[in-house]
């Protein structure tokens, strides 16, 4: 996935902090030299960081390293009554307090944290992360000076956490060709708009003036996953929303999000989530004694880019 370079402008401030409020978080694959700390206040969907993909929900807290491609994409199913999605975002450079500030002994824990987060780290599932998230919810109400102090306190908290979730490997690197950026955005937009249908790969490849085999290799090389795997992830994410917010039968939901049969739906759901659709439904409807991770704790799917380079797909295929 060819990530788009994003220039972060903080004006006269030494760091940039803002609240992201949108009717949806669209797919926007990008990177920047700044570190980024993102707290999801009110949203759910899928988080893509490097070659990892995982579900996110309220309380999801992620620290991203410099130049790490990423995107938050809100779920494809619009929830009744949800007017907007909210997140608090803080972006800063390592030298934002001076080139040697984090090299002093007192700042050594943060220095180690900034090195460890090169491939992204998730903290929302930890007690430390929840405590940090409580502070960050009111971050934008602080004065500029207080924001610096609060950020340092949060980073020190996160540095002490022993079990963050490491997100990406180092296989995905940003690439800056404009034509590749536009091409991957076109592919992802098409798959996101039609994930619940039979994907016409021949039509899509023709639109991009590529043959199917070249398109498959391009997508796999850029994202670390096949187009079929990506579509399945979109379908499972949509199914999870329907399972927890509607009374539709599991079978109907599987068909609605694009799976051709229940067996494949159940198999793909378990592969991506780590548990089956029935287990998720029981958790929300029957309060069964089944331990399931919360949205921000769900297993992150990582695809091995060293595997087969090319998908073999028919002109029309239902994953």
Q: Is the pTM here over 0.75, yes or no?
A: no
Boundary-marking domain end, from 133, 166, 199? 166
Q: Which two tokens stand for residue 264?
A: 């494949």
Task: Tell me, yes or no, whether 230 lies in a domain.
Answer: yes
d(CA 182, CA 179): 5
Q: Is 158 helix (H, G, I), strand (E, B) or coil?
A: helix
Is the CA virtual torsion 298, 154, 43, 35 positive or negative?
Answer: negative
pLDDT at 183: 83
pLDDT at 6: 57
Same domain (yes/no): 205, 300: yes
Asked if 102 and 114 touch (Cβ cutoff 8 Å), the reply is yes
- Domain residues for the domain of 311 are 178-317
| One-character DSSP codes across 126-174 | SHHHHHHHHHHTTGGGS-HHHHHHHHHHHHHHHHT-S-PEE---S----
Domain count, the chain: 2
d(CA 203, CA 205): 6
Secondary structure tally for the chain: helices H, strands E: 10, 14
Task: Tell me, yes or no, whether 171 lies in a domain.
Answer: no
Cβ–Cβ contacts within 10 Å for residue 316, how many?
12
Same domain (yes/no): 14, 162: yes
pLDDT at 288: 39
Boundary-marking domain end, from 103, 137, 166? 166
Task: Give residues with Cβ within 8 angstroms of 83, minimum separation 6.
Answer: 23
pLDDT at 4: 54
Cβ–Cβ contacts within 10 Å for residue 110, how many?
19
Max CA-CA distance within the chain?
A: 60
pLDDT at 219: 87
Q: What is the CATH classification number for the domain harbouring 14?
A: 2.60.120.280
pLDDT at 289: 43
Q: Which two tokens stand for residue 304?
A: 């091995």
How many angstroms separate the Cα of 65 from the Cα of each of 19, 49, 183, 201, 275?
Answer: 20, 10, 25, 34, 30
d(CA 177, CA 113): 31
pLDDT at 307: 37
Mean pLDDT by 10 residues, the chain (319 residues): 53 82 85 94 87 87 93 69 85 94 96 95 96 96 96 98 89 61 81 89 90 90 84 88 88 95 95 91 62 42 38 39
pLDDT at 26: 84
């Amino acid at each position: 996935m060819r990530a788009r370079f994003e220039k972060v402008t903080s004006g006269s401030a030494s760091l940039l902090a803002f609240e992201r409020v949108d009717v949806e978080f669209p797919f926007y694959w990008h990177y920047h030299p700044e570190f980024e700390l993102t707290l999801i206040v009110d949203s759910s969907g899928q988080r893509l960081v490097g070659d990892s993909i995982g579900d996110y929900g309220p309380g999801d807290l992620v620290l991203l390293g410099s130049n790490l491609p990423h995107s938050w994409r809100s779920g494809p199913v619009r929830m009744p009554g949800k007017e907007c999605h909210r997140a608090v975002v803080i972006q800063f450079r390592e030298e934002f307090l001076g080139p040697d500030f984090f090299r002093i002994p007192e700042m050594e824990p943060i220095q180690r944290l900034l090195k460890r987060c090169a491939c992204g780290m998730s903290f929302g599932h930890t007690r430390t992360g929840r405590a940090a998230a409580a502070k960050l919810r009111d971050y934008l109400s602080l004065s500029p000076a207080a924001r610096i102090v609060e950020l340092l306190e949060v980073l020190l908290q996160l540095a002490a956490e022993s079990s963050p979730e490491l997100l990406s490997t180092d296989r995905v690197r940003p690439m800056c060709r404009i034509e590749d950026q536009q091409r991957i955005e076109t592919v992802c937009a098409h798959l996101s708009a039609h994930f619940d249908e039979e994907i016409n790969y021949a039509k899509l490849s023709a639109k991009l003036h590529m043959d199917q085999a070249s398109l498959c290799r391009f997508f796999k090389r850029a994202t670390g996953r096949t187009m079929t795997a990506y579509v399945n992830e979109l379908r499972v994410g949509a199914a999870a929303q329907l399972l927890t917010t509607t009374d539709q039968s599991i079978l109907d939901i599987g068909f609605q999000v694009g799976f051709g049969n229940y067996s494949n739906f159940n198999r793909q759901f378990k592969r991506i989530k780590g548990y089956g659709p029935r287990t998720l439904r029981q958790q929300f409807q029957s309060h069964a004694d089944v331990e399931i991770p919360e949205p921000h704790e769900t297993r992150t799917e990582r695809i091995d880019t060293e595997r087969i380079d090319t998908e073999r797909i028919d002109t029309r295929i239902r994953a």
